[in-house]
Amino acid sequence: MKKILYSFIVAVALLVVPTTASAQLNLSRLLGGISKVTSQMQTEQSAENPYSRLAESAPSAYQLNGTWRFESASFSYLGQNPLADIVIAQVDPIIGQTLQQLGFTAGSVTLRLTNGKGVIMQGEHALKGSYSYTRSTAAIVASTTFNDKSVSASGYVRYSGGQLTVLLDARELINALTAVMPELKQDQNVIMVQTLLKDLKDVYVAGKFSK
Number of domains in the chain: 1
Angstrom distance (rounded) from CA 95 to CA 71: 12
151 and 180 Cβ atoms separated by less than 8 Å: yes
Angstrom distance (rounded) from CA 209 to CA 211: 7
Residue 16 has pLDDT above 80, yes or no: no
Residue 27 has pLDDT above 70, yes or no: no
140 and 157 Cβ atoms separated by less than 8 Å: yes
Comparison of pLDDT for 69 and 1, the residue scoring more: 69
The distance of Cα 168 from the centroid of its chain, to the nearest Å, equals 4
pLDDT, averaged across the chain: 79
Q: Residue 19: what pLDDT?
A: 46
Q: Residue 100: what pLDDT?
A: 67
Comparison of pLDDT for 184 and 94, the residue scoring more: 184
Percent of the chain with pLDDT over 70: 68
87 by Cβ neighbours in 10 Å (0-12 / 13-18 / 19+) ranks as buried
Q: Residue 36: what pLDDT?
A: 52
Residue 135 has pLDDT above 60, yes or no: yes
pLDDT, tens digit, 9 for 90 and up, residues 91-117:
666 566 656 656 678 888 999 999 999
> Could you tell me where the DSSP H helices lie in the chain?
2-16, 21-37, 39-44, 50-56, 61-64, 82-91, 94-101, 170-180, 188-197
Q: What are phi and psi of 81, to 5 degrees?
A: -90, 110
- Output the CA–CA distances (angstroms, integers) from residue 23 to 18, 34, 196, in the order listed: 6, 16, 10
Q: Given the DSSP bridges, would you call strands 149-160 and 163-169 parallel, antiparallel or unpaired?
A: antiparallel
The DSSP secondary-structure symbol of 48 reads G
| 3-state DSSP assignment of residue 198 | coil
The distance of Cα 133 from the centroid of its chain, to the nearest Å, equals 16
> Per DSSP, what are the bridge partners of residue 189?
none
Percent of the chain with pLDDT over 90: 38
Domain range spanning residue 122? 2-210
Q: Residue 144: what pLDDT?
A: 95
The DSSP secondary-structure symbol of 59 reads P
Please, which pLDDT band fits residue 25 given cuts at 50, 70 and 90?
very low
Span 140-168, mean pLDDT? 94
pLDDT, tens digit, 9 for 90 and up, residues 40-57:
444 444 457 889 999 999
